[in-house]
Structure 1
Amino acid sequence: MEKVFHNIVDAITGNDNAGGLLSSKKTTARVEGRVVLMKKNVLDFNDFIGTEVLDGIHELLGQRISLRLVSSVNGDPENGLKGKLGKPAYLEEWLTKVNLVAGETAYKVTFDWDEEIGLPGAFVIKNEHHSQFYLRTLTLEDVPGHGRVHFVCNSWVYPADKYKEDRLFFANKTYLPGQTPGPLAMYREEELINLRGDGTGELKEWDRVYDYAFYNDLGNPDKGSDYARPVLGGSAQYPYPRRGRTGRAPTKTDPNTESREPLLMSLDIYVPRDERFGHLKMSDFLAYSLKSVAQIIQPALESTFDETPGEFDSFEDVLKLYEGGIKLPDNSFLETVKKEIPLETLKEIFASDGGEGILKYPMPQVIKEDKSAWRTDKEFGREMLAGVNPVVIRRLQEFPPASSLDPKEYGNQTSTITKEQIENGLDGLTVDEAIEKNRLFILDHHDALMPYLRRINTTSTKTYASRTVLFLKEDGTLKPLAIELSLPHPEGDQLGAVSKVFTPAREGVAGSIWELAKAYAAVNDSGYHQLISHFLNTHAVIEPFVIATNRQLSTLHPIYKLLHPHFRDTMNINALARQILINAGGVLESTVFPAKYAMELSSVVYKDWVFPEQALPADLIKRGVAVEDKNSTHGLRLLIEDYPYAVDGLEIWSSIKTWVKDYCSFYYTSDEIVQKDRELQSWWKELVEEGHGDKKNEPWWPKMDSVQNLVESCTIIIWIASALHAAVNFGQYPYAGYLPNRPTISRRFMPEEGTPEYEKLKEDPEKAFLETITAELQTLLGISLIELLSRHSTDEVYLGQRDMPEWTTDSVPLQAFEKFAKKLEVIEEKIMTMNGDTRWKNRVGPVKVPYTLLYPTSEGGLTGKGIPNSVSI
């Protein structure tokens, strides 16, 4: 290979000794280093020949990869006292070290030693090659007077002509701003300025700019008025957290809406290059499969169901999806798919039968052991405590349930459930006694949905705003007592709600109607889960923290080092979501009941988002499912003792907080140090005023003036990004992969007695049920999506883990982190022990699905367990 490169250079230059360009001057004092990187062509095999040849030509022409050490002890008077720069050193053996498989390559680099450099605190790297590479680390051995010096880089380095400023990486030290060695201080500030950008222009893949924008890229008004969507963020009507700026031009139709990438370019939406998925995650088919859902599966299914009725006739029909798959009759389908999706992805999604495609789905856990237990009232109640959305149920403290909607605008929205309707299910208690004894609970989606219900029901959706009242039995399980389904008054919102109340029944048409009532409540909960509990309260709210941290906290800053692992892949998955999932006409609007009003509704709910209440103890107390108790392990007592999400969550929360306190206390030994940390203060100010700018005037924001507030704030950030997201994400396929259990759409109202629909319900209740909930096409599209979103990639990094063991040189934080990891191992054992204890009825339930969503670790794939460090999927 090297001979080929020499011949090419000789032909271009007429030089018989191009290799002479590689000669270097010998000196006596040298420091050897080791650079670990991954070449672009190794990660993109399709581009191997072109990239390798061009980089080889650059190498032989002397356009190489150079590194210059930066002194941390001696400034250069001719350069504003910035750290003195050493002489350039070059990566050696580039041409002879060629990998043909994905992986890292180590290169030797030899520096001419200059005594005036002293301890290197950073290095500048210049890439004169044709293509970019991923720089892992630089390690210097035997630096005179200092020994080993290590640099953790983990960054893409593009050709030098792509940058306005040279790329610089700091040694793996941690400094508060005021403690930064003088020769490095200006470099530190300049690096942050580079990352902020200037707020102008369209950003390109090599740009490293972190900046804010509104959610103004969901609609596509140039495509037609049906695809127009309001801008979310920047207004009192539609507040929203900020997302990463791309700088794309506005649409022709609406100057306030940003133009969108063509769907075929859906993977190329801008996020800073270091925020993009790693090569293993890409090869694990994640992004390609998301693309395939939107571009391949959806059109193929729509084509299929143009020819066949899109309805399941029975629950047995639904089971066939998992036991045999669904045959796609178009013979050209697989050939089309093969052109779009990598082979390994294809094997994951499809099988072949006589040349025809078969769409395969794994068996969801909720029906793996028992095909009908999901229909029981006990399981219906249990999933509010241990299912995919266990973060909404609250204690009922007044009867009848009240509404917080403005009566001037919405009239009387007080619940119509009566004491007489539920008292026969209270095990001998009166309603007042049950409330006093903390035995009544409610799953209440009424107020969130009622203001939008009239508009939602103008679409193909036909649904209600629901309230579900439940009773806490002596054995710790929840028994549903009544479900109220409400609609806006037909003559105007100001006239209040029109409501009907349904109570449990097991047999006959009454039993079928009760099953439908539970389905309507599940539809509400599914939509609220996906839009609020999941996307808004984890994905959307955490992205401003990612942006602010990179703009205001140096990589040298201890809080940057603490939080950075919890931001991995978040900007990338959110960008993909905006491109193909939550956009106008996207998969979410097609499969979740609020349809075109979905994201608008989540914006309205964001008005009630309060940062301190995202702390698990505060959330549990606010919902009334726990009370403060200084004598209890975590400082509070659960009023539902067998509440798996809360029980496991408090263990995880406590372990995170202890770790954060141990870490922060090492660097911040007083409140005064927090107050004088200018980067920390700028970070928090920008996060509040820009990242969550629509809430900047809220009085509840913590002041960044004490170690206690710093610890609490960082704990909340880590909790949201890791455990909260895991709890509401990775149960999606296990519980909702079987759509009758968690329907996402209702297409007709409750049948009225005396109507043909009522007679049909009496004659064939299964078919009537299935014709009410999510249709077959939307079911297949929806479960295709949530199967992908419920999978762990093989390179996932879980809570208590780091992708680089030498992430800091400070021994005390390393020891604290090791203690944190060991505590999580203890929690894992405790979770498994409790799941095996028959006293706890809600941990496994009638469906025999153990609660493992807050089990910290996992292997790759569809496991229903594991807490990744970040919102990475």
Structure 2
Amino acid sequence: MFQQVLGALNGITHVGDHHNTNNNKIKGTVVLMRKNVLDFNDFNGSILDGVHELFGQKVSFQLISAVNPDPENGMQGKLSSPAYLEDWINSSLSTPIPAGESVFNLTFDLGEDIGVPGAFIIKNFHHTEFFLKTVTLEDVPGHGPIHFVCNSWVYPAEKYQKDRVFFANQSYLPGETPAPLIQYRNDELVSLRGNGKGELQEWERVYDYAYYDDLGEPILGENFARPVLGGSSEYPYPRRGRTGRKPSLADPKSESRIPLVLSLNIYVPRDERFGHLKMSDFLAYALKSVGQFLLPEFEALFDGTPTEFASFEEELRLYEQGIKLPSGPLFKNLTDNVPLELLKELVRSDGEGLLKFPTPQVIQQDKTAWRTDEEFAREMLAGLNPVIISSLKEFPPKSKLNPETYGDHTSTITGEQIEDKLDGLTIDEAIEENRLFILDHHDTIMPYLRRINTTSTKTYASRTLLFLQKDGTLKPLAIELSLPHPDGDQHGAVSKVYTPAEHGIDGSFWQLAKAYVGVNDSGVHQLISHWLHTHAVIEPFVIATNRQLSVLHPIHKLLYPHFRDTMNINALARQVLINAGGILESTVFPGRYAMEMSSVLYKDWVFPEQALPADLIKRGMAVEDPEAPHGLRLLIKDYPFAVDGLEIWSAIRTWVEDYCKVYYKSDETIQKDAELQSWWKELREQGHGDKKDAPWWPKMQNLKDLVDSCTIIIWIASALHAAVNFGQYAYAGYLPNRPTVSRRFMPEPGTPEYEELKTNPDRVFFKTITAQIQTLLGVSLIEILSRHASDEIYLGQRDDPEWTKEAGALAAFEKFGRNLGEIEKRIIQLNNDDEFKNRAGPVKVPYTLLYPTSEPGLTGKGIPNSVSI
């Protein structure tokens, strides 16, 4: 009997003929996935479910009329009699469907005519949940087929205070909702908002807000205490999803944390959890394992060895030969606690106990080209963090730090140090011709630098000046490294300037100066460009959309794909990445001040400036030009992030505008849309509540406000995140190219370090940058974060072709897909054009981070719909 049940659970059921020959009956199909397919830890429970279904009616469905109200039920839509799943156990295999899915017949006996259904109620009488994908009704009298896109976990009915309701794929603005469905629409939103009380359980579907008060663990002592981010002018922050856990016993302002061994169980609404495919489980376990198991094992592995690689050749062995792991009991903790297949991936065990990583793209073609000045500068335009560089408008560069607090922080770079490198131009002429640029990490880092340098980190604030050459490439001119004045912040900075050199001690100093800039850029990239400006700022939009926009609302349908997995990855990040003592603090230079720094930088976040054109204009990288493509003229023609980004931005905006025009025929319609206005109000006042009084928020009073806002949201969640995430392994998988920590200051003349720099500069380089343990941990992490899941859904794609019924919306989406296909072709053409030297550079890595589609894995291309990793 057990073998028969097992075979049936692994089988695919047959979908029979659903032609409706009885006007009193409606036939349909249900597609769902049972929990054992989705969670290998609950396989036995699902076997029992299959047995139980043989003996009873365990899942019921009732149709809700969209046209006929029931006077005895408050004029809500009439209900059909319950219908039940048929043939739960059925091993016939005549209809091919995706692996893991099961299809079941369903027959509704209407009895009294309910007219056209617009929703249904489902009740699950099993003892465990299942994932409901779709329900399709065939040949509804007077209407034809009706499709319900569900994509939701359905828990046992006893877990819910209100019935689970799913609506057909017809969108309605609130004022256009059929009267019999209005109360169901409103009740569903009330359920999703919750009551703001108590600890939330996994089956609850509550979206609510909380501060970042769960990063610290004060019960472990002062070293693990962290300030609450959000809710104050000192530490403003976007809100995260509420879990409702009890306050910490050591600090009532901090939320208690789940022990790391239980880290996968942190609450997010169940439908926000990762999908069912193996890659998603792998990601979750991998993040947990890197933090819980790999870090202490790496520490043990290198406990008796020097803390840095001795040479470039030694570091290259990570990719070419691997590092031999101990064969004794050292890794017993790993093998006892991590699934074998995951262990093989995490520690690259190939049967010979080698820790070996894939070769990053930046060193695949040339092992040394990353050290060139051209590549150093090119990556500011086409690397991991192409969103910081700006044009230089005044010389010397000035600071925006408050002079009353920090003194004078005007740059000490002089004209004499750079003017002979400007192709015959004066500095004023170079500025006038828009040929001077700056990578400025001075003001970002300086306020925290004194504290950072009391830890094991020893680093500088930096400014890097660059010159645009006639061939379109950038040439570094000077790097300024600054420390707080030893007599106090009010006295300004102590700075030293380094200029390019290829040989001798000056060449060694120049390579170290570029490494310090790389450290700063790595930290700003992870904390600001990546975490804050994509992951953190988008989560309030996820929450507000689910709380205030019904699934029937067209803007919910527009935005929903761009929120997939975001709350889940952010929750995991709070648990193992950005928490006190977590992986980020262990691998990025600000250490314990990392998240606090990101809070200070959030003060500068302005929603409309997240639009790519606005960002480029603000940084002085483009000027408005009605004659230019997309209305902008780039000051650096060969700026791959901006060139490809503007194409993607324009395609998204056209799609959003076409879509919104299907539903909003006038500005008055927008103004009178109660759900839309509540959504925008809550987003400003709660989701980004620390900026609720900012004057720059769009007023949401016309079509332009709506289109601009939705385009920015989609841009952040898809293309911007792709641009700063999926190239991580390609460029930073080789840590010398993107060091994350510096552990020593520049060698001073007369010291042993100075003498060593003269005789063995590579050894000094490795003594300065990221240590071995941090390198292994960092590379392990970014390899995970740079991979595309096998169930990824990319920009211009949907998980269900019948996601909406409206022909106008479907036509606009098809046009969007065609536009993206054309953009892919243009990117390939540009990458093959030798005129554009910045698109591949000396390292010969083509710029593909904004190429819309990708295969699974470590590809360095592809734009997923959402911040899903």
> What is the deviation of 1:633?
1.2
In 2, Cα distance between equivalents of 1:28 and 1:770 = 78
Aligned alpha-carbon RMSD (Å): 1.7
Q: 1:493 maps to which residue?
A: 489
How far the C-alpha of 1:337 sits from its partner, in A, is 2.8
- Confirm or deny that 1:590 pairs with 2:589: no
Mapped to 2, the partners of 1:845 and 1:409 lie a distance apart of 42
SS at match of 1:370: coil
Is 1:79 equivalent to 2:73 in the alignment?
yes
Q: Are the counterparts in 2 of residues 177 and 557 from structure 1 also a CA contact under 8 Å?
A: yes
Whether 2:159 is the aligned partner of 1:165: answer no
Secondary structure at 1:307 match in 2: coil
Letter in structure 2 aligned against 1:688: R
**Match in the other structure for 1:105:** 102
CA distance in structure 1 between the partners assigned to 2:292 and 2:72 by the alignment: 57
Q: Is the 8 A contact 1:394 1:442 kept in 2?
A: yes
Shift of 1:205: 0.6
User: In 1, are the aligned partners of 2:343 and 2:349 still within 8 Å (CA)?
Assistant: no
Range 644-653 or range 39-48, more displaced? 39-48
Q: Classify the secondary structure of the residue corresponding to 2:825.
A: helix
Task: Tell me: CA distance 1:419–1:147, structure 2 relative to 1, closer, same or farther (3 Å).
Answer: same
**Residues 124 and 628 of structure 1: CA distance in aligned 2, closer, same or farther (over 3 Å):** same
Q: In the alignment, which of 511, 515, 536 is matched to residue 511 of structure 2?
A: 515
Deviates more, 1:276-285 or 1:372-381: 276-285
Query: 1:314-359, CA deviations, whole angstroms, 9 ceiling, x for partnerless residues?
Result: 1111100000112221523555434333333233334446x76322
CA distance in 2, matches of 1:344, 1:92: 37
Opposite residue 852 of structure 1, the aligned amino acid is T
Q: Distance in 2 between matches of 1:70 and 1:686?
A: 30
Q: Per-residue deviation at 1:28? A: 8.3
Alpha-carbon distance in 1 for matches of 2:22, 2:624: 70
Aligned residues: 851
Residue type matched to 1:738 in 2?
Y
More displaced stretch, 470-479 vs 105-114: 105-114
* Partner residue in 2 for 1:699: 695
Structure 2 residue 757 is matched with structure 1 residue 757: no
Q: CA deviation at 1:311?
A: 1.5
**Could you report, residue by residue, the CA deviation over 1:364-411 in whole angstroms, capped at 9, with x for unpaired residues?**
000000000000000000000000000000000001000011000000
Is 1:267 matched up with 2:258?
Answer: no
State whether residues 55 and 129 of structure 1, in contact with CA within 8 Å, keep that contact through their aligned partners in structure 2: no
Q: Does the CA-based 8 Å contact 1:422-1:482 persist in structure 2? A: yes
Aligned residues of 2:349 and 2:355 also touching (Cα < 8 A): no
Instruction: State the distance in 1 between where 2:215 and 2:102 align.
Output: 41
Confirm or deny that 1:664 pairs with 2:660. Answer: yes
The answer for the alignment partner of 1:828 in structure 2 is 824
Deviation at 1:51, TM superposition (A): 2.8
In structure 2, the CA distance between the partners of 1:221 and 1:831, relative to structure 1 (3 Å rule), is: same
- Per the alignment, residue 44 of structure 1 pairs with 39
Q: Are 2:225 and 1:209 equivalent residues in the alignment?
A: no
Q: Is residue 2:273 matched to residue 1:279?
A: no
Cα distance in 1 for partners of 2:828, 2:777 equals 34
TM-score, structure 1 length as denominator? 0.96
3-state SS of 1:461 partner: coil
Contact 1:42 1:101 in 2 (8 A): no
- The offset of 1:98, in angstroms, is 10
1:736 aligns with 2:747: no
Distance 2:45 2:205 in 1: 25
Partners of 2:360 and 2:494 lie apart in 1 by 37
Aligned in 2, Cα 1:552/1:207: closer, same or farther, shift over 3 Å? Answer: same
Does residue 814 (structure 1) correspond to residue 810 (structure 2)? The answer is yes
**C-alpha separation in 2, matches of 1:602 and 1:574:** 15
The within-5 A match list for 1:413-492 is 413-492=409-488
Quote the residue 1:30 is aligned against. 25
Q: CA deviation at 1:289?
A: 1.1
User: What displacement does 1:3 show?
Assistant: 12
Q: Give the alignment partner of residue 190 of structure 2, picking from 188, 193, 201.
A: 193
CA deviation string 1:781-817 (max 9, x = no partner): 0010000000000100000111111000011111111
Alignment partners' CA distance in 2, 1:124 and 1:780: 51
* C-alpha contact (below 8 Å) 1:63/1:129 kept by paired residues: no
Change (3 A) 1:313 1:171: same
Instruction: Name the CA distance, whole Å, in 1 between partners of 2:36 and 2:778.
Output: 36
Preserved CA contact (<8 Å) 2:34 2:46? no
Alignment correspondent of 1:177: 174
Counterpart in 1 of 2:83?
89
Moved more, 343-352 or 423-432: 343-352
Partner of 1:639: 635
Specify the alignment match of 2:9 in structure 1: none
Determine the C-alpha separation between the residues in 1 that align with 2:600 and 2:615: 20
| Distance 1:375-1:871 versus aligned 2 partners, 3 A rule | same
Give the distance between the partners of 1:559 and 1:36, measured in 2 at CA.
26
Secondary structure of the structure 2 residue equivalent to 1:500: strand
* Counterpart selection for 1:623 from 619, 625, 634: 619
Residue number among 858, 864, 867 corresponding to 1:868 in the alignment:
864
Change (3 A) 1:486 1:2: closer
Q: For residues 121-140 of structure 1, what are the structure 2 equivalents within 5 Å?
A: 121-140=118-137
Residue 389 of structure 1 pairs with residue 348 of structure 2: no
What's the counterpart of residue 565 of structure 1?
561
After TM superposition, give the deviation of residue 295 of structure 1 in Å: 1.6
8 Å contact from structure 1 (residues 97, 105) kept in 2: no
Q: CA deviation at 1:29?
A: 2.5
Paired with 1:437 and 1:400, the residues of 2 have a C-alpha distance of 17
3-state DSSP class of the match of 1:575?
helix
Partner of 1:147: 144
**SS class of match (1:285):** helix
Q: Distance in 2 between matches of 1:819 and 1:531?
A: 36
> How high is the TM-score relative to the length of structure 2?
0.96
**1:461-488 deviations in Å (ceiling 9; x for gaps):** 0000000000000000000000000111
Quick one: distance in 2 between partners of 1:870 and 1:493? 42
Distance, in Å, in 2 between the alignment partners of 1:408 and 1:684 is 38
Are the equivalent residues in 2 in contact too, given 1:471–1:478 (CA < 8 A)? yes
In the TM superposition, what whole-angstrom CA distance separates every residue of 1:171-228 from its partner, at most 9, and x where no partner exists?
1110000000000001000000000000001011100000000000000000111000
Letter in 1 for 2:515: A
Q: Is residue 486–residue 497 contact of structure 1 (8 Å, CA) maintained in 2?
A: yes
* 1:69 equivalent in structure 2: 63
Q: Closer, same or farther in 2 for the Cα pair 1:59/1:249, shift >3 Å?
A: farther
Q: Report deviation, 1:269.
A: 0.4
- Distance change (3 Å), C-alpha of 1:497 and 1:566: same
Distance 2:715 2:229 in 1: 25
**Structure 1 stretch displaced more, 324-333 or 83-92:** 324-333
Q: CA deviation at 1:97?
A: 5.4
Q: Percent identity?
A: 71
Cα gap change, 1:283/1:536 in structure 2, threshold over 3 Å: closer, same or farther? closer
One-letter code of the match for 1:384?
A: M
State the one-letter code of the partner of 2:386: P
| 1:796-853 CA distance string (max 9 Å, x none) | 0000111111000011111111111111111111111111111001001000000000
Consecutive unaligned residues of structure 2, counting only runs of 5 or more, are: 6-20
Q: Is the 8 A contact 2:32 2:103 kept in 1?
A: yes
Could you tell me whether the CA contact under 8 Å between 2:279 and 2:790 is conserved in 1?
no
Q: 2:747 touches 2:753 (CA, 8 Å); kept in 1?
A: yes
Deviating more after overlay: 120-129 vs 272-281: 272-281
2:238 & 2:374 partners in 1: Cα distance?
Answer: 37
Residue 111 of structure 2: SS of its match in structure 1?
A: coil
User: How much has 1:545 moved relative to structure 2?
Assistant: 0.2
Partner residue of 1:723? 719
Find the residue that maps to 1:416 and give its secondary structure. Answer: coil
SS at match of 1:306: coil
3-state SS of the aligned residue for 1:842? helix
In the TM superposition, residue 76 of structure 1 has moved relative to its aligned partner by 1.2
Deviations 1:152-189 (Å, cap 9, x if unpaired)?
10000000011101100001110000000000001000
Q: 1: CA distance between counterparts of 2:354 and 2:92?
A: 40
